[in-house]
Amino acid sequence: MTQTRRHVLTLLGAAAMVPPAHATPGEVETLIRALTGASPLRDGLIRLELPVLVENGNTVSMRVSVANPPSPVDSIHVFADGNPLPHVAVFRFGPRAGVPAISTRIRLATSQTVTAIACLRDGTRWRDSVELLVTLAACIE
């Protein structure tokens, strides 16, 4: 019994020393390429609003909007390259959705770049990015 208890305590101690997992910018680029396919990403049209300096990564206010889209917006995807799960959110819009704008809160693990991509029904893809500094990290449990 003593040997089993020591073994468990050793494993718990080793697990506590493992650093938290984070996505890499390369992984995020792969996810974005899978989303966009052959469509080129264009800058503009979509606007991502986040504070540049974030005191607490547990609740970060975010607003995403698409102004005067040439075609109806099908979906908006949000990626954070420093989070353990980088595909943070997906918002889908139907034909009666009205203005494509979202205001919500997200969690951010560390200082990173957050990217929003708007997928329009005509097949075009638009992006906006914000690089921000997080002083108190979240998502590391």
Residue 13 forms part of a structural domain: no
Question: How many domains, the chain?
Answer: 1
Instruction: Give the closest residue to 51 by CA, choosing from 132, 139, 117, 118.
Output: 132
Residue 43 forms part of a structural domain: yes
Which residues are paired to 54 by β-bridges? 134
pLDDT in the model for residue 1: 45
Contacts of 73 (CB under 8 A, 6+ apart): 66, 93, 97, 100, 118, 119, 120, 121
Considering Cα of 127, then 130, then 136, then 137, what sign does the dihedral take?
A: positive
Range of the domain at 37: 20-136
Residue 40 forms part of a structural domain: yes
- Phi and psi based region of residue 17 (left: phi greater than 0; alpha: psi -120 to 50; beta: remaining): alpha
Q: How confident is the model at residue 53 (pLDDT cuts 50, 70, 90)?
A: very high
Q: What is the pTM of this model?
A: 0.81
Residue 3 forms part of a structural domain: no
Q: What CATH number is attached to the domain comprising 27?
A: 2.60.40.2470
Residue 9 forms part of a structural domain: no
Residue 31 forms part of a structural domain: yes
Distance CA 124, CA 141 (A): 37
Q: How confident is the model at residue 17 (pLDDT cuts 50, 70, 90)?
A: very low
